[in-house]
Amino acid sequence: MSLRRTTSAVVSVVAVAAVGAVPTAAAAHGRPEEFRRLSTFPAYLNSSIDDTAAAEISTVTDDGRTVVYTDSPGRRLGFVDISNPSAPKPAGTLAVGGEPTSVAHLGRLLLAGVNTRTSFTEPSGKLVVIDASSRAVTREIDLGGQPDSVAVAPSGRYIAVAIENERDEDLDDGAIPQAPAGWLAVVDTRTWKVSRVDLSGLSTLAPTDPEPEYVSVNSRDEAVVSLQENNHLAVVDLRTGRIVRSIDAGAVTVTGVDTEDDDKIELSGTITAKREPDGVAWINDDLFATANEGDYEGGSRGWSIFSKKTGTVVWDAGNSLEHIAVAHGQYPDKRSDAKGIEAENVAFAVLNRTPYVFVNAERGNFTAVYDVSNPAKPRFRQLLPTTNGPEGVVAVPSRNLVVVSSEEEDPSIGIRGTVQVFGFGSPKNTPVVSRNDIPWGALSALSAVPGRPHRLAAVTDAVYSPTRVLGLTTGGVIDGELTVTKDGTPVGYDAEGLVVRKAGGYWLAVEGTGAGKDPDLLVRLDARARVREEIPLPADVAAAVTANGLEGVAEVGGAVWVAVQRTIKGDPANTARIGRYDTVTRTWSWLLYPLDTAPTGWVGLSELVAVDANTFAVIERDNQRGTLAAIKRIATFDVPASWTGTPIVSKKPVKDLLPLLRADGGWVQDKVEGLAVAGNGRTYAVTDNDGLDDATGETVFLDLGRLL
């Protein structure tokens, strides 16, 4: 298999040119210090599966045992019992009389910022103070405007509330200024009186219309406030209400990023953009971190560390966070022409004696973990895949936990708002990473590489174009790629099956779109991934295949075998076709595979592997994610010695994959699409992440041992 290879050392986290080779935390500190996801709690468990529920911003009660999150669609707070962080339990909800935008805690009290506005021009809101034990509302404080972020001073003396008074994005395309302006509200917890800090006149960009987004307070009772649309930051002394530092967040030119929404990930573009920070968090009493999401006319695709003392940038991520996302298959190409991964929020905490910054990427669906022992040189440690739209991130130092809340909720495609809990430990499954900026995602098939016992090959499906064959180790490291070409030109297929041929080259199973458009094809490539032959299905079968066509391919002797994903028109219900193509006679013959029935959705085949000359393995799965996933399994069947017509084979269940897909506490992925028996005798499986297109973007790589 002749693929472009790299020679850098294999590490268990990504090595990218912009960041350098990054050792694991265990290697760096001589102790096992790696985060793993412990659990995923869908917010609907606090109501019903048919309810629309989100989890946007969260806090954790003083005892570290209850997560409290804002559920904006439900106009309520949600509660999750994390006494056992690996098995969270629903703990109910509390209506707050409006749209909760943020929540924090002060000792035994919960503090919820609640938006009660009736229009953009007449903003209103309140701070709802709740006894965390009884959940009784002890007081409601009129804030005089629409709150966004709520932060509590470590001293406990002050509560800072960013009064955003957000603009109407449908008015003049969201251009600013738009009255009324926002400000910072300061609540003195001794008297519960509110004072106002005027933030206007600080920025040169729409100085009359500050829209404070996020606030964080240090041990000196100083609040840093992000004015996102103004591309500005303000540091406020909460004791006096005086602005002690006004900071222009500045612009940055970032090279080596993808700037085109074109179904390709090409890190060759350049942007010059204002940072426009959203989330902020103090690292110490002088330094604070910003998530540079952008909103109005900016977004630098990374995060920064600023000095309060000098008002300057101490460190900036540049292009490195997007390169990390690419290396982990978590880059959202469809956002390339906008703001990329969108660093949304940051949090700081010291866990197990190490200072960390956690960075949420709203569009990349991940939290990046950095060791900031030296804030001038943060070291990337780990990428934590999340569900869609991670907004809130909060650490629980007393229990060495990190909680990420994700707001996106679309039950129609199996995406739910969740609370996820991470702690120290080793993940059960291997993360897939690439070397030297090889972009990847949507791994729709796996294959062994003949003569290479520790090598595998994968292929990308129609999410990306042109089609590429990727080389990877059995440890899940992608280190080579070949672009598929036809007549000298790169070509894009919906490649759903791949086998590396002993004779050299490859077979692809290409899925069509049904209804006679873009037909299903069996495609033969040479060793350089050049198309040498396209073989259509027989006319009668091609006419009966739906959009869920070819999904797997295998080669045995002079025959090539394919699997059709779902029942074709005219065949018995709950069957899928297995086809044999004789490369000598150029004729097809067919078998039927019996499919199980799932409680929800449909069931089909998504891979085909030759175990020996007469036995094949398949992946049989439903199309459901998360708690609705019911069928994800490997089964085998034997081929009759001879047959006529289309007989139904007998299948033998071999491995239920659901326990493994749940083992790392994540949102169960629907598309287990790759399966291979490597030359080392071990079986491997991989999920297709759909390139983050209506999916979480997480890829799960399974080492199943000596299974087949």
* 310 and 449 within one domain: no
Residue 462 lies in a domain: yes
Q: Tokens 């070409």 label which residue? A: 485
Give the Cα separation of 688 and 672 in Å (integer). 6
What is the model's pLDDT at position 514?
A: 75
What share of the chain has pLDDT > 90, as a percent?
93
Tell me the pLDDT tens digit for each residue of 194-228.
Answer: 999 999 999 999 999 999 999 999 999 999 999 99
Which tokens sit at 98? 């409006």
Give the Cα separation of 406 and 391 in Å (integer). 5
Residue 476 lies in a domain: yes
Edge-first strand order for the sheet with 109-115 is 99-106, 109-115, 125-131, 137-142
Question: With 50 as the cut, is the pLDDT of residue 177 above it?
Answer: yes
What is the model's pLDDT at position 515?
A: 63
Range of the domain at 508: 433-705
Q: How many CB atoms lie within 10 A of CB 642?
A: 6
Number of domains comprising the chain: 2
Sequence-distant (6+) residues with CB within 8 A of 150 are 102, 103, 104, 111, 112, 113, 127, 159, 160, 161, 162, 215
Peptide bond into 177 cis (omega under 30): yes
- SS3 string, 107-132, reads CCEEEEEEECCCECCECCEEEEEEEC
Tell me the pLDDT tens digit for each residue of 495-509.
Answer: 999 999 999 999 999
Q: Tokens 């797997």 label which residue? A: 552
Sequence-distant (6+) residues with CB within 8 A of 343 are 278, 279, 291, 292, 293, 301, 302, 303, 317, 321, 359, 360, 361, 362
Q: Cα dist. 123→70, 166, 591 in Å?
A: 19, 8, 66
| Closest CA relative to residue 553, chosen from 598, 583, 518, 573 | 583
Q: Cα dist. 221→241, 255, 441, 469 in Å?
A: 10, 38, 45, 55
Sequence-distant (6+) residues with CB within 8 A of 645 are none
Residue 336 lies in a domain: yes
Q: Tokens 């960390």 label which residue? A: 356
* 574 and 477 within one domain: yes
CA 322 to chain CA centroid, nearest Å: 13
Peptide bond into 453 cis (omega under 30): no
* 466 and 589 within one domain: yes
Residue 390 lies in a domain: no
Arithmetic mean of pLDDT over the chain: 94
Residue 690 lies in a domain: yes
Q: Tokens 């799965």 label which residue? A: 621
What is the model's pLDDT at position 296?
A: 85
Q: What angle do CA 314, 320, 325 make, to 5 degrees?
A: 135
Burial of 193 (0-12, 13-18, 19+ CB in 10 A): exposed
* 607 and 697 within one domain: yes
Residue 196 lies in a domain: no
Tell me the pLDDT tens digit for each residue of 464-495.
Answer: 999 999 999 999 999 999 999 999 999 999 99
* 698 and 557 within one domain: yes
Residue 137 lies in a domain: no
Q: How confident is the model at residue 237 (pLDDT cuts 50, 70, 90)?
A: very high
Eight-state DSSP code of residue 640: P
Question: With 90 as the cut, is the pLDDT of residue 17 above it?
Answer: no
Supply the pTM of this predicted model.
0.94
What is the model's pLDDT at position 516?
A: 63
Sequence-distant (6+) residues with CB within 8 A of 660 are 428, 429, 700, 702, 704
Helices (H) and strands (E) in the chain, counts: 4, 52
* 468 and 376 within one domain: no
Q: Pick from 324, 355, 384: which residue ends a domain? A: 384
* 370 and 450 within one domain: no
Indicate if the alpha-carbon torsion angle 280, 281, 283, 286 is positive or negative.
positive
Tell me the pLDDT tens digit for each residue of 623-634.
Answer: 999 999 999 999
Eight-state DSSP code of residue 182: -
Sequence-distant (6+) residues with CB within 8 A of 544 are 568, 569, 570, 571
β-strand partners of 384: 367
Indicate if the alpha-carbon torsion angle 279, 408, 477, 701 is positive or negative.
positive
Burial of 487 (0-12, 13-18, 19+ CB in 10 A): exposed
What is the model's pLDDT at position 212?
A: 98
Residue 88 lies in a domain: no
* 368 and 499 within one domain: no
* 453 and 377 within one domain: no
Q: Cα dist. 614→554, 555, 667, 708 in Å?
A: 12, 11, 36, 13
* 336 and 462 within one domain: no
- In angstroms and rounded to an integer, the radius of gyration of the C-alpha atoms of the chain is 27
> How does strand 35-42 pair with strand 58-60?
unpaired
- Contact criterion met (CB below 8 Å) for 473 and 454: yes
Which bin fits 29, alpha (ψ -120 to 50), beta or left (φ > 0)?
A: alpha
Give the Cα separation of 566 and 547 in Å (integer). 9
Report phi then psi at 474, rounded to 5.
-70, -5
* 369 and 291 within one domain: yes
Which tokens sit at 180? 């009324």
Provide the CATH number for the domain around residue 667.
Answer: 2.115.10
What is the DSSP annotation of 498-559?
EEE-TTSSEEEEE---STTSS--EEEEE-TT-BEEEEEEPPHHHHHH--SS-EEEEEEETTE
Give the Cα separation of 133 and 141 in Å (integer). 20
Q: Pick from 360, 384, 408: which residue ends a domain? A: 384
Q: Which of these ranges, 3-17, 77-91, 339-353, has the smallest mean pLDDT?
A: 3-17
Q: What is the mean pLDDT of residues 70-99?
A: 98
Question: With 50 as the cut, is the pLDDT of residue 23 above it?
Answer: no
Which bin fits 135, alpha (ψ -120 to 50), beta or left (φ > 0)?
A: left
Q: What is the mean pLDDT of residues 58-65?
A: 97
What is the model's pLDDT at position 488?
A: 97
* 676 and 542 within one domain: yes
Q: Pick from 327, 349, 384: which residue ends a domain? A: 384
Tell me the pLDDT tens digit for each residue of 411-453.
Answer: 999 999 999 999 999 999 999 999 988 999 999 999 999 999 9
Q: What is the mean pLDDT of residues 142-165?
A: 98
Question: With 50 as the cut, is the pLDDT of residue 165 above it?
Answer: yes
Give the Cα separation of 613 and 644 in Å (integer). 19
How many Å from the N-terminal Cα to the C-terminal Cα in the chain? 23
Tell me the pLDDT tens digit for each residue of 364-412.
Answer: 999 999 999 999 999 999 999 999 999 999 999 999 999 999 999 999 9
